[in-house]
Every structure is written in C-alpha cells, then in structure tokens.
Amino acid sequence: MARFPLPPRPGRRARWVATKAVYGGGGFGTAAAATVALVRLEAHLARNVIGRPFEQAPKAAGSYGRGRRGEKPLHLAVLGDSAAAGLGCERAEETPGALFAGGIARDMRRRVDLDVVAVSGARSAHLEVQVSKALRRPVDLAVVIIGANDVTHRVPVAAACRDLAKAVKRLRDAGAVVVVGTCPDLGTVKPLLQPLRTVARVLSRRLARAQTVCVVEAGGIAVSLGDLLGDMFTNEPHLWSADRFHPSADGYRQIVDAMLPSLLEHIGVDIPVSVPVSATVQDVTVAASVASREPGLAIETIEGDQGAAGQGRLARIVRRLPLVGRGAPAGPTDAAELTDADA
C-alpha cells in the first residue's frame, strides 16, 4: 500500500491557499491577516450547515427485487457518511442505497438484500466499525462514499486514506466487490463563499486524488465524484436538498447513475448503455490526478505484477456513460413474498 507523506496542518494550508487565491501570492501583512479572519468567519458560518444535519436519512435497509425460488440473494452493504446514507431524501426509495439495490436487482433479475451502515457525520476513521457491522454476514457488494467530513474536520490526508484503505482491504478479503465514490468537490457547496470555497475545492480534490490511489491499491474501484453535480447544481437548484449542502433525491440519482455501471460490470452484468467509451492504462498516481479533474471516471486495479499494488503501480482509467434510461429500479420486496421465498 502506498505511503503518503503527512501534509501540512490543514488549517495552515487552508489559510495559505485562501490568501494566494485572493491576493495572487503578493505580500501578506495586513491583507493576509484580513484574509485569514475572513476564512475563519466563513468556516464558522458554513459550519452551521456542514456536519450538523437537522434530521436523519430515511431507513432503506431491506430486500429489493425478486429472484428465482431458492436462489441466494446478493448482500449489498452501503458504507460512509451522510451522502451514502441519503440525507436530504424524503423517502427511503430515493436514497443511494435503495437506488443501488433496486438497480442491481433490476439488471441482474435477482433479489438484493440491502444493509445501510453509513452514518451522517462519519469520517474515514469510522469505517472500521461500519465494516465490522456489515461483515456480520457475508458481503457480496459494497458501496462506500466518504471524505467530505474528513475535509471539514481537517483530518490529515494520510490518516484518512490509511483508514479508507483498511476498510476496502477488509471488504475485498471477505470477497466483496468494492466501489468507492471519492470525496466530492466541496467548492460547489452553496453555503461556502469565497475565499473558503476555493480552500474547500483545493482540499477536497487533494483528498480525492489520494483516496483514488489507496482504493485501487487495496483492490477496489474508485469513481471520481468531484464536481459531478457542480454545473447542474448551479443551473438546477432542485438538485440541492433543503439544507443546500446535501443533494436532493434527483441529485443522488445522478451520483448513482455515475457509479452503478462500474459495479454492474464487475459483477458480470452486460448492459449496452454502460459499455466503456474509453479505457487506458496509466501509473496509478497519474490516473488519480486525471480523475480528480474529470468526474465520473472509474479507476480500477490491474491484476498481476504490474498492478497498482505491485511493480509499476499501473491502473486502468475507464470512462463509462452514466446509467440512464433503464427504467425504474426494483422496489422493496413485499414481506409476504420474502417469507414464501425463504420457505
């Protein structure tokens, strides 16, 4: 696994970035002090929204779709923070977990048991507990969305990635296919004003790059979320939930549409609309840098000696079209039908 050097204290780095962004790297003095004060003020105001959700995400755990009688259902675990849990959705069927489970059930024609262990406010350090909960029974598929709270809580990049890599490796060692949505670009968040918006963008992209490397080296698939919704959020306010920080149901669907094709392909589902439009091989650090600037890219490990964990540290960059036009995902399975199927 790659070793990342410890970065400067995020607070110092943030103030430096903000000052450079506003004053173009000129003399500091009074102007720098004013900028630092502004960053702190903006962070205080934004903190009233970020990391302090006003409600809980709807509970989406359960069974989705219908399989053949006697066929073992797939177990999907969703881990991470409030974005993984679906905070901002009004109904359970709108959450990412339900959309992933329903989409897999629809396209595999198989029942999927969904277990959501994601927790609002979670950071990468909390994944250890979440993985333990998920692995109480065998996990076939795992989706992880994490990183935003590591940025807002100023967690060092090296520490956040070390915890994420451990989680991915435990899930992979247990036999699960693991897809990770890397840290979104927090510079698109509405409550943030300049210069804090620039600070947030720099820090979140830096974490996303490092996450991509550690996920691929641990055997997972990293999908860049980046500013996936940035332009759309600017032009289509309905993609924001009421708190203006978390996506709405429509916003979460955009995220799932971008991540689901990678998950489906790696479990053997052949769907024409999700065929990769391009695939190249690069050094994993180069691939991570590319992905941090281009949302929707999937970075995948290459098996063998030249793979991301071995000599050469190569990874595959895959661009897939968002999975749209497939119809509604399968909904929750009726309790009576589950009883009959299990019997």
Instruction: Tokens 């009726």: give the residue.
Output: 334
Q: Considering only CA atoms, which of 247, 215, 192, 199 is closest in space to residue 46?
A: 192
List 278's β-bridge partners, or say none. 319
Q: Specify the amino acid at residue 158.
A: A
The secondary structure element, H or E, covering residue 177 is strand 177-181
Q: Catalytic pick from 63, 75, 81, 82?
A: 82
CA distance 287 to 108: 30
Distance of CA 304 to the CA centre of its chain: 26
CA distance 201 to 188: 8
Q: Report yes or no: 57 and 90 within 8 Å, Cβ to Cβ.
A: no
Active-site residue 82, yes or no? Answer: yes
Please list, in sequence order, all residues whose beta carbon lies within 8 angstroms of the beta carbon of residue 53, skipping any fewer than 6 positions away. Answer: 82, 87, 120, 121, 243, 246
Q: Catalytic pick from 75, 113, 227, 246?
A: 246
User: In which region does residue 175 sit, left (phi positive, over 0), alpha (psi from -120 to 50) or beta (all else)?
Assistant: left
The two structure tokens encoding residue 29: 């003095």
Measure Cα distances from 100 to 3, 55, 108, 130, 157 in Å. 32, 22, 12, 18, 28
DSSP characters over 33-62: HHHHHHHHHHHHHHTTTTT--SSPPP---E
Q: Catalytic pick from 107, 150, 243, 257?
A: 243
CA distance 209 to 222: 10
Active-site residue 246, yes or no? Answer: yes
The phi and psi torsions of 120 (rounded to 5 degrees) equal: -60, 135
Catalytic positions: 82, 243, 246
